Structure 1
Amino acid sequence: MPSNSESNIVTADALTLILHNQHALAAAVEEVAKWLSENGVESVAENAVVAMETLDTNAKAISDAIMRLRQL
């Protein structure tokens, strides 16, 4: 059975991958929002911006969790 330290490292590594996915999704949503805005679909673009804000908020929480795990 892995030690707590090993488990923390594995968990932090997995969360780091999730964080990278968060950033990739945010970038993709941002591109779509920009295109929507430029093509007159402002209400949908605004919804995409709200989704990006949620991704950013969650990315911050994931980053904080990674840092806490790596310090243990």
Structure 2
Amino acid sequence: MDERPPITADTLELLHLNQIAIRAALEEVSLWISQRGSTNVHDNILSILHTLDTNAEAIASGIESLRSM
């Protein structure tokens, strides 16, 4: 049996969890920045968060596919 798909899925899942944690941290910083009046920076970060969310969905789907192999 080939061990690569489970190892790859496990590794990608850890990276995915890191991405989720980084997203949460960015959101906290963005809210802090917004509260201090820098709405342009906050808006830019919200755009980046949207990209992270989109990519996270694709990563989760890929992990699910690897696990079903």
Deviation of 1:38 after TM superposition, in Å, equals 0.5
1:14 is aligned, of 7, 11, 17, to 11
Question: Any gaps of 5 or more consecutive residues in structure 2?
Answer: none
Coordinate RMSD, CA, aligned: 1.0
Question: Any gaps of 5 or more consecutive residues in structure 1?
Answer: none
1:52 is aligned, of 32, 35, 49, to 49
Moved over 2 A (4+): none
Alpha-carbon distance between aligned partners in 2 of 1:21 and 1:44, rounded to the nearest angstrom: 23
Provide the TM-score with structure 1 as the length reference. 0.91
For 1:10-49, what aligned pairs fall within 5 Å after superposition?
10-49=7-46
Provide the TM-score with structure 2 as the length reference. 0.95
Count of residue pairs brought into register by the alignment: 69
- Percent identical among aligned pairs is 43
